[in-house]
Amino acid sequence: MDYSLLSSILHAILVASTPLVFAGLGALIQERAGVLNLGIEGLMIVGALAGFATALAGYPLLVSVIAAALAGSALAAIFALLVLRLYANPVATGLALTLFGLGLSALAGAQYVGQAAPQVSVWTIPLLSQLPVVGHALFSHDPLVYLSILMAALLWWFLKKTRAGLILRAVGENHASAHSLGFSVMGIRFLAIAAGGALAGIGGSYLTLVQTPLFVEGMTAGRGWIALALVVFASWRPFRVIAGAYLFGSVTILQLHSQAFGISIPAQWLSMLPYLVTIMALVMISARGEKGLAAPGSLGKIFRVSR
Amino acid sequence: MRGLLLKALAVSAAVLLAACSDSEQTASNAPEKSADKVKAGFIYVGPVSDGGWTYEHNQGRLAVEEAFGDKVETTFVESVSEGPDAERVLSQMANDGADIIFTTSFGFMNPTIKVAEQFPNVKFEHATGFKRADNVAIYSSRFYEGRHVLGLVAGKMTKTNTVGYIASFPIPEVVRGINAAYLAAKSVNPEVQFKVIWVSSWFDPGKEADAAKALIDQGADILMQHTDSPAAMQIAEQRGIYAFGQASDMAAFGPTAQLTAIIDDWAPYYIERVGAMLDGTWQSTDTWGGFNTGMVALAPYGQAVPDDVRQLAEEARVAISEGRLHPFTGPINKQDGSAWLAAGETADDGTLLGMNFYVEGIEGSLPSSN
């Protein structure tokens, strides 16, 4: 295999993985605060539409990404209201959020189908991008690829090194204790849900702004669910989300390349492969027991202030 | 005063009536059983804005309206799922007085047959299926004729001798397209090689784009697709290579990349069939139309197509249209080397409709479809 092909494959893997990195981090911050949100898919597609519509209206990339983040946040806020204030079942509400997001984006997005967004420019990092093989693969991307890695680092720093991050983790581990210490469980969870919604929205917008600059109904095609699996795969740690997302992206891209090389494995198997890898990873992690799983203690539990 | 008003009304009504019957006189030189007005219904599997399959069916509907003006009334229901829901929509349409109903997806076949039994006076037209009845006609297009012309252009224009093909599912229609394009490309460029990626979806723009990138990275400089979104066209434009549109003119997504596109043009068929309703000559038929019926058309050739290639492509198109050329003319062997068509022999429709093998020269194996 020649190096330029290797370099192109690496490049494609990074692009295919980036929406998953954003969405995975979005799910992660929510779950670290103890909120299980199955609506990531819905948040992504709404972000995908908002980002696309903004870009189509002629605004620069930054504005489009902010619009996507706001749209994701707004939809997540509805989820927060239902789950935190009205004590709706989070699993059912999350599923409903996915369906609602898909429907809403299909309705509002009908007018944008068949249009193409302007191309996003590439930020080539000087010197580093001159390196053989990895230069093109890693250092000549659109700004969002770098942002996704920066976000993981920021999230790691926030959770590990800041007081606010510690409080967020405390709420996720044991909401009763956090409450008794005087922290607002509701407030913190609301912020975590909104932030997670923003990240998921950006993840969705990566699809419509960079990967395939067009919008069609249901184009997230299950990536929100992969993101949820990634968080478990990553045992709730930001950098492992990146690793998981890149692993998933690799399998996706490599199966396409193996077909083009004429390797005769049934296409259906190859399409299944990324999902099988995810399931295998989940099994391996679970096999390590509770310690390996390291799920936040209060994940998915409803918090009520006792009166 | 009141009497005068009534009189005036009566006079104007009489004038109007006379005018009406006048126009009726001039228009009614059609046969006896003719209908004054036809109500045509359409059900679509996707949204009319999909930019491909359903979009083209809806363009056909609009063409019917344009052709017959107020002698025809059309209605449509979009995004109908293939199953019991389709039956409900069809019955509703028939109850609402539709005279002819077009069901435009393969999965509407059984609902169409079922509802047609309940409404013997309503005519039905089912696209791409194989079940007929006295009041159910079927129709489809010979897209492989278009693929032949695309293959010629691709074979002539590839510099890397590698054509990338993004395929959906290994059903006969898709396999036929790959074979037709390959044979044509090979006939003008013996060095040509096809790389096929199956994405197991009709519509997943993200995956189609990834497949397009993978093919380009592996040396393809021309892309063909049998999936519905313009994602591959966009990638081709970005990467500065060429591609062919699918189902619809995709030049908007690849102004320099698109060499041409196969366009499903249902308008001539729909106009003919609704016209047959108007003059009372409708019969249950089985139509598999190609270039000759206008049901398969090509988008204008792109800037990049040189004159000699354009000429070659046009000659082939005309020859196919006039029946002088069949895209599957022997000698052709199957991929495993066994003989399929002897020299000069052409493929029969039955084999084409059930095609489940690659022809000799295509690399890789066909994923099993079951």
pLDDT band at B5 (very low <50, low <70, confident <90, very high): very low
Query: Is the model's pLDDT at B41 over the cut of 60?
Result: yes
Per-residue model confidence (pLDDT) at position B151: 96
Check which CATH number belongs to the domain holding A228 and give it.
1.10.3470
* Structure confidence by residue, pLDDT tens digits, B240-257: 999 999 888 888 889 999
Residues of B with CB under 8 A from a CB of A: 47, 49-51, 55, 164, 170, 195-201, 203-211, 213-215, 217-218, 220, 229-231, 234-235, 238, 252-253, 363-365, 367-368
Per-residue model confidence (pLDDT) at position A265: 67
- Domain region containing A70: 3-119+132-293
* Separation in Å, CA of B196 to nearest CA in chain A: 6
Residue indicated by tokens 């069609």? A216
Query: Is the model's pLDDT at B274 over the cut of 80?
Result: yes
Separation of first and last alpha carbons in chain A: 68
- The mean pLDDT value for B137-164 works out to 95
pLDDT top residue among B203 and B21: B203
Residue A196 lies in a domain: yes
Per-residue model confidence (pLDDT) at position B6: 47
Query: Is the model's pLDDT at B325 over the cut of 90?
Result: yes
- Using CA atoms, how far apart are residues A166 and A169, in angstroms rounded to an integer? 5
Q: Is the ipTM of this complex over 0.95?
A: no
Domains B38-141+266-293 and B143-262+328-353 in one fold: yes
- Using CA atoms, how far apart are residues B147 and B262, in angstroms rounded to an integer? 8
Query: Is the model's pLDDT at B9 over the cut of 70?
Result: no
pLDDT band at A263 (very low <50, low <70, confident <90, very high): confident
Per-residue model confidence (pLDDT) at position B28: 37
- The count of structural domains within chain A is 1
* Structure confidence by residue, pLDDT tens digits, A88-106: 999 999 999 999 999 999 8
* Structure confidence by residue, pLDDT tens digits, A102-132: 999 988 988 887 777 887 888 888 888 888 7
Contact assignment for A256 to B214 by CB distance below 8 Å: yes
Per-residue model confidence (pLDDT) at position A139: 85
Closest CA to B38 of B95, B116, B101, B86: B101
- The mean pLDDT value for B66-80 works out to 92
Q: Which of B33-47, B66-80, B207-221 has the weakest average pLDDT?
A: B33-47
And the tokens for B277?
């309703």
Q: pLDDT exceeding 70 applies to what percent of chain B?
A: 89
Per-residue model confidence (pLDDT) at position A291: 59
The number of residues in chain A equals 307
Residue A282 lies in a domain: yes
- Using CA atoms, how far apart are residues B348 and A185, in angstroms rounded to an integer? 72
CATH 3.30.70.270 fits B143-262+328-353, yes or no: no
Contact assignment for A219 to B365 by CB distance below 8 Å: no
- Using CA atoms, how far apart are residues A68 and A47, in angstroms rounded to an integer? 4
Contact assignment for B364 to A256 by CB distance below 8 Å: no
DSSP designation for B334? B
CATH 2.70.210.12 fits B38-141+266-293, yes or no: no
- The mean pLDDT value for B101-126 works out to 93
Is the omega angle on the peptide bond into residue B331 within 30 degrees of 0, that is, cis? yes
Query: Is the model's pLDDT at A53 over the cut of 90?
Result: yes
Size of interface A-B (CB pairs under 8 A): 107
Per-residue model confidence (pLDDT) at position A261: 81
Contact assignment for B207 to A216 by CB distance below 8 Å: no
* Structure confidence by residue, pLDDT tens digits, A173-191: 999 999 999 999 999 999 9
pLDDT top residue among A215 and B119: B119
DSSP designation for B301? P
Report whether B103 contacts B81 (CB < 8 A). Answer: no
The model's pTM is: 0.80
Residue A281: CB atoms within 10 A of its CB come to 18
Q: What ranges do the domains of chain B cover?
A: 38-141+266-293, 143-262+328-353
* Chain B nearest-CA residue for A211: B206
* Structure confidence by residue, pLDDT tens digits, A278-304: 788 778 777 776 655 678 888 888 888
A162 CB contacts (<8 Å, ≥6 apart)? Answer: none
